[in-house]
Amino acid sequence: MRIFALVDCNNFYVSCERLFRPEIKHRPVVVLSNNDGCVISRSQEAKDIGVPMGAPAYKYQSFFLQNNVEIFSSNYALYGDLSQRVTATLASLTPDLEVYSIDESFLEFPPCMLRELPSIGKEIRTRILKWTGIPVSVGFGSTKTLAKVASRFAKKYPQTEGTFSLCGRNDLDRLLDKVPVTDVWGIGRRHGKRLIARGVSTARTFKDLPNLWLKKNMSVTGLHTALELRGTPCFELDNSPKPKKTISSSRSFGRPVTALSDLEESVAAYVARAGEKLREQQSLTNGVMVYLTTNRFNNLPQYSNSATRMLPIATDYTPELINTGLQCIRSIYKEGFSYKKTGVVLLDLCGKYNRQCNLLELDHKAESAKKEAIMNLLDSANTRFGRRTLSYASEGLEQPWQMNRKYKSPSYTTSWDDLPKIG
């Protein structure tokens, strides 16, 4: 039997904020999405007083005030840095590690360690808490999906003390009967609804559906999920992350935007950011897609559109990408609408050092070396001195369209200026 573990940071963003504000440890705390839109992380106290996930912040303003809820804008510089510390700690325990998301990692252990799982779980929790200050839950299972289920139990029931194993249990069915089908990893809202309508409401009844039905109604992904719940691994541990196939950057505006010039600035800024990510993973892009949209939540006239332009030669040179992005936005902009958001997607990425060469580019060796040197300079300056130390004029200086971040905490661990003072 295989042994997978899922290590899941508890209320991750809230835990990050609390690390530097210990006095809010027992108060309700929420972290808002970009643009201070809705709630994306809640402390246990916030859950207990009934703040739902995804709650629009503006609807809850007086509620937050009445209940003395501490509010934070999201601060991804902080969360990303602490996330790295957590995964580095995990890497000190085992090389079989897949970083699944900013707050979750899968681990695999050899079958012979079955009897040691309780102490391993304890050790993981203790070490991460001690080294990083972040509380985590640990779930073990013979597949990734079961490890996920186990971590839910670990979170939900205090008597588990934060670690729970579903490996080698003979009461697995009884436990899966307690898990709502919509809580299963891989079953979303859409399928969940349909399943419940058919009377399939728990993980146990779901896993016992006939294979043919699963395949027909939920494609192979649904079948895989059921097989995993029955203990047959379909998803392997992936510890060598592949480069992304698309890279995007987008934001909602802090206020409605009508002028083309503002939209152009935002597109230039998002392209520049996407370009940084592109070079970070050592890829080139073959095309740029730009979209814009009005606010679907108001009653004003609606308009959204997108434009794609392919590039003659794959590149990671931001000025060229910005040019292309600007052409796109100009081609779809319509006057008279109140815009909420623009976004940029770099498409059809390929590796910088392993790709088909284009006959056209052989003539441009000297020029491309120069471009590369410029990008290197820009990236290293921005890494060393902080994001947007050097930026493009087309991104604008004032950026009146910038998102709201009214409640942002300092970047305690990633900015010298924000380093916490002692005493």
Nearest-5° Cα angle at 225, 220 to 228: 120
Query: Closer CB to DNA, residue 71 or residue 187?
Result: 187
d(C-alpha 161, C-alpha 164), whole Å:
8
Contact pattern from residue 252 through residue 291 relative to DNA, giving x for each residue in contact according to CB under 7 A and a dash for the rest: x--xx----------------x---x--------------
Question: Segment near DNA (CB under 7 A), from 169-177, 242-250, 352-360, 372-380?
Answer: 242-250
Q: Which of 198, 245, 334, 355 touches DNA (CB under 7 A)?
A: 245
- Alpha helices by DSSP H, 333-415: 365-385
Q: How far is the CB of 389 from DNA (least distance, A)?
A: 20
* Residue in the block written with tokens 């902009």: 333
Among residues 68, 92, 221, 383, the one that binds DNA under rule CB under 7 A: 221
Among 68, 119, 246, 258, binds DNA (CB under 7 A): 246
Q: Which is nearer to DNA, 18 or 273 (CB)?
A: 273
Check binding of 341 to DNA (CB under 7 A): yes
Query: Do 26 and 37 touch, CB atoms closer than 8 A?
Result: no
Among 64, 106, 185, 339, binds DNA (CB under 7 A): 185
Backbone angles phi, psi at 256, to 5 degrees: -60, 145
Tokens of 295: 């606010």
Beta strands in 111-218 (DSSP E): 136-141, 163-165
Sheet with 29-32, edge to edge strand ranges: 39-42, 29-32, 70-72
The amino acid at residue 285 is: T
- Least distance CB 321 / DNA (angstroms): 14
Question: How many C-beta atoms surround the C-beta of residue 91 within 10 A?
Answer: 15
CA distance 149 to 144: 9
Residue 234, classified by CB atoms within 10 Å of its CB into exposed (0-12), middle (13-18) or buried (19+), is middle
C-beta closer to DNA: residue 241 or 420: 241
Q: Select from 362, 31, 10, 282 the least CA-distant residue to 156.
A: 10
Of residues 60, 64, 72, 100, which one binds DNA by CB under 7 A?
100
Contact flag: residue 302 with DNA (CB under 7 A): no
Query: Which residue matches tokens 């200026």?
Result: 417
Which of 21, 27, 251, 330 binds DNA (CB under 7 A)? It is 251
Closest contact distance (angstroms) between CB of 168 and DNA is 24
Q: Which of 37, 118, 180, 410 binds DNA (CB under 7 A)?
A: 37
Using the rule CB under 7 A, give the single segment among 16-24, 133-141, 295-303, 317-325 that binds DNA.
295-303
Query: Under the criterion CB under 7 A, does residue 331 sit at the interface with DNA?
Result: no
Apex 94 CA angle, 89 and 97, nearest 5: 85
Shortest reach from residue 107's CB to DNA, in Å? 16
Minimal distance, residue 163 CB to DNA, in Å: 18
Residue 315 is which amino acid? T
Distance separating alpha carbons of residues 117 and 7, to the nearest angstrom: 13
Query: How many residues of this chain interact with DNA, rule: CB under 7 A?
Result: 48
Residue (38 or 146) nearer to DNA, CB = 38
The whole-angstrom separation of Cα 278 and Cα 350 is 10
Q: Site mask, DNA, residues 140-159, x = CB under 7 A? A: --------x-----------
| Cβ count within 10 A of residue 54 | 10
Q: Give residues in contact with DNA (CB under 7 A).
A: 33-35, 37-38, 40, 54, 56-58, 100-104, 148, 184-192, 219-221, 244-252, 255-256, 273, 277, 295, 297-298, 340-341, 343, 403
